[in-house]
Chains A and B, each alone.
Chain A
Amino acid sequence: MTAAIEIDALAKHFGATGALNGVTVNVERGEIFGLIGPDGSGKSTLFRLLVTLLLPDGGRATVEGLDIVKDFLKIRARVGYMPGRFSLYPDLTVEENLHLFATLFGVRVEDNRPLIQRVYSHIEPFRRRRASALSGGMKQKLALSCALIHRPSVLFLDEPTTGIDPVSRAELWETLADLKRQGVTVMVSTPYMDEARLCDRVALMQSGRFLDVASPPEIVARHGTTTWAARAERMSKLLTDLRAHPTVETCYAFGDRHHVTPRPGASPLLLRAAMETLGHRQVEISEILPGIEDCFIRIAGQPPREP
């Protein structure tokens, strides 16, 4: 059986940002595959190529075994796509939008109700409200409901959680796990690194290239280096002082701790003593396991690996 999505040296060139410089990967059926990278790294371009809204300049790709250039009409019937920008009809109500999308795909809302139940139940109380009057979180839930209503076998979600609060984000990821259990393949992009660990595999993207493709634990195993978490009373000054210390290679703020990449041979005890000498109080420095975000910061600063 072929993979759900096969991408081979796919390329699209235009303008300064957003181009795709030849990416290759196979996404398996029922996989949640994450595209992780900043704005302009080519995530949206890859989506638009795969859902047949753009033609590639190089390489090829298939979705459910169908070619994205030759079989574009067949692909459109089989995939669900939620673009990064809200693209429903603002003057239609919640209910009207949903029925419109169902009708366009030749299905009835009632028939596929169970598939969207979890996400739609949150907005159903507002079903007579116009889409333009919904909050950001509700808009995303409606957009997802519309993308799912024809029971697609592959779902493309372009930054569904950008600008969405943590509670709604958690709900959306629960929905994706549901869909995976029902055999739906999901390709999803996000700028939130903590969401990467909810994917089966992720591609770290930058400048139109895949820096690496692997499961989140593999990414950490491959790119993680010794990492220390540091805190003290004055965090802003601590950041400056840690960076200036000769045993510190890099140091970045990570929430309530700073993450330090030490140089070979460095010792957390000596570093703590050095910070105390500089007047810092309640200094704590301890070794931690690096996360995806540590890895991304690390490899984003290096030249890309050729696929």
Chain B
Amino acid sequence: MNAITTERLTKRFGAFTAVDNLSFEVKRGEIFGFLGANGAGKTTAIRVLCGLSKPTSGRAEVAGFDVATHPERVKRHIGYMSQRFSLYEDLTVRENIRLYAGIYGIPTAEIRTKSDALLRRLEFGDWRDRLVRVLPQGWRQKLAFSVAIFHEPAVVFLDEPTGGVDPLTRRQFWELIYQAADRGITIFVTTHYMDEAEYCNRVSIMVDGRIEALDSPRRLKEQRGAATMDEVFRQLARGARRT
């Protein structure tokens, strides 16, 4: 079964077509890179896939549920994390976990045992009762991801999760992504770091609302005679009207 299926998915705002006829599939446990220039329509597409915005036409199924007819079911079975906002800075590490787990309806006893195990695995030690505001950036990022998949969602959406993060933390972050994918969680991730595009099983590149290319990084490079994903991206996005 696919984790995500879209058929001619389209979202218009008045005369403006933000998302134009997207048809693609993401397999279970796949790491799928959703790339595109600023303004290409990625954020709008993600909002539709998360059940936050209704498609104008076409359809999309996420975790087995139609996003237009069952948006609440979709929301229960996905996780979401963005670089801009993910954790409450005025709550402690443990309070953040409890809040998110509670929202997803996980029983209190289970929250306690699972969060203890998580904090041990992340080696949070004495930091568990500190405010998130004082956490080093790298730890915050790892915690945000762990919270987003705490309820074991079928799919997790990561919107530029590593923006502004140091190289070492970026790599540790991707190792968490690999581990989650190995457990069967499907990863749908956007990034402007083209080296991170290489870590994905497949990537799509959106230009002006459409998917212009979709394949494994290796095949995309071969098809276009490019040495790097950066080159592939530039070839495709140079011609964009919306930047």
Is B238 close to A, CB under 8 A? yes
A167 and B164 in contact (CB under 8 A), knowing A16-B134, A137-B243, A254-B195?
A: no
A239 / chain B contacts, CB cutoff of 8 Å: 175
The 0/1 profile, CB within 8 Å of A marked 1, for residues 41-78 of chain B is: 00000000000000000000000000000000000000
Contact of B38 among A138, A206, A301 (CB under 8 A): A138
Whether a CB of chain B sits under 8 angstroms from the CB of A252 is yes
The 8 Å CB contact of A166, one of B160, B169, B192, is B192
CB pair A135–B39 under 8 Å, yes or no, is: yes
- When each residue 33-49 of chain A gets 1 if its CB lies under 8 Å from chain B and 0 otherwise, what string results? 00001111100000000
Q: Is B1 part of the contact surface with A, judged by Cβ < 8 Å?
A: no
**Is A168's CB within 8 Å of the partner chain B?**
yes
**B interface list, Cβ under 8 A from A:** 36-40, 83, 134, 136-138, 160, 163-169, 171, 174-175, 178, 182, 192-196, 198-199, 217-218, 228-230, 233-234, 237-238, 240, 242-243
Decide: B137 and A255 in contact? CB cutoff 8 A.
no
A253 within 8 A of B: yes
Give B178's nearest chain A residue, CB to CB.
Answer: A236
Apart from A167-B234, A169-B192, A236-B178, list 6 A-B contacts with CB within 8 A: A17-B137, A38-B164, A122-B243, A163-B164, A165-B37, A191-B166
**Which of B163, B166, B238 is close to A167, meaning CB atoms less than 8 Å apart?**
B238
Could you tell me the distance in whole angstroms from the C-beta of A6 to the nearest C-beta in chain B?
28
List of B residues within 8 angstroms of A40 by Cβ: 136-137
Interface centre among A16, A193, A256 (most CB of B within 10 A): A256
Chain B residues positioned under 8 Å from A166 (CB to CB): 192, 194, 230, 233-234, 237
Contact A159 B38 (CB under 8 A): no
A152 within 8 A of B: no
Is there contact, CB below 8 Å, between A136 and B39? yes
* In contact, B192 and A191 (Cβ under 8 angstroms): no
- From A253, A256, A296, B174 is in contact (CB under 8 Å) with A253
> In the bound complex, do residue A256 and residue B198 qualify as a contact, i.e. CB atoms below 8 Å apart?
yes
Contacts of B174 in A (CB 8 A): 253
Closest B residue, CB atoms, query A206: B166
Q: How far is the CA of A288 from the CA of B168 in the complex (A)?
A: 20
A162 / chain B contacts, CB cutoff of 8 Å: 163-164
- List, in ascending order, chain B residues with CB within 8 A of A255's CB: 194-196, 198-199, 228-229
Which one of B160, B165, B229 lies within 8 Å of A38 (CB-CB)?
Answer: B165
Give which listed residue, A37, A136, A256, contacts B218 with CB less than 8 A. A256
The answer to whether A164 and B234 touch across the interface, beta carbons within 8 angstroms, is no
Tally inter-chain residue pairs, CB-CB below 8 A: 107
Chain A nearest Cβ from B121, distance in angstroms:
16
Q: Is A297 an interface residue, CB under 8 A from the partner? A: yes
A168 touches B137 (CB 8 A): no
Residues of A within 8 A of B198 (CB): 255-256
Whether A55 is near chain B, meaning CB under 8 Å from some CB there, is no
The answer to whether B134 touches A39, judged by C-beta atoms less than 8 angstroms apart, is: no
Contact in complex: A253, B192 (CB < 8 Å): no
Once the chains are docked, how many angstroms separate the CA of A239 from the CA of B167?
16
Q: What's the minimum C-beta distance from A41 to chain B, rounded to whole angstroms?
A: 8
Chain A's nearest CB lies how many Å from the CB of B123?
16
Inter-chain contacts of B178 with A (CB < 8 A):
236
Chain B nearest CB, measured from A11 CB (Å): 20
Q: A165: which of B169, B175, B182, B237 is its contact (CB, 8 Å)? A: B237
Chain B CB within 8 A of A192 CB: yes
Q: Is A53 an interface residue (CB 8 A)?
A: no
| Whole-angstrom distance between the Cβ of A298 and the nearest chain B Cβ | 10
Most buried by B among A164, A255, A296: A255
Pick the residue among B39, B160, B193, B195 that contacts A138 (CB under 8 A).
B39
Question: Do residues A300 and B168 form an inter-chain contact, with CB atoms below 8 A?
Answer: yes
Q: Counting chain A CB atoms within 10 Å of each CB, which of B160, B171, B229, B234 scores highest?
A: B171
Least CB separation from A171: chain B residue:
B243
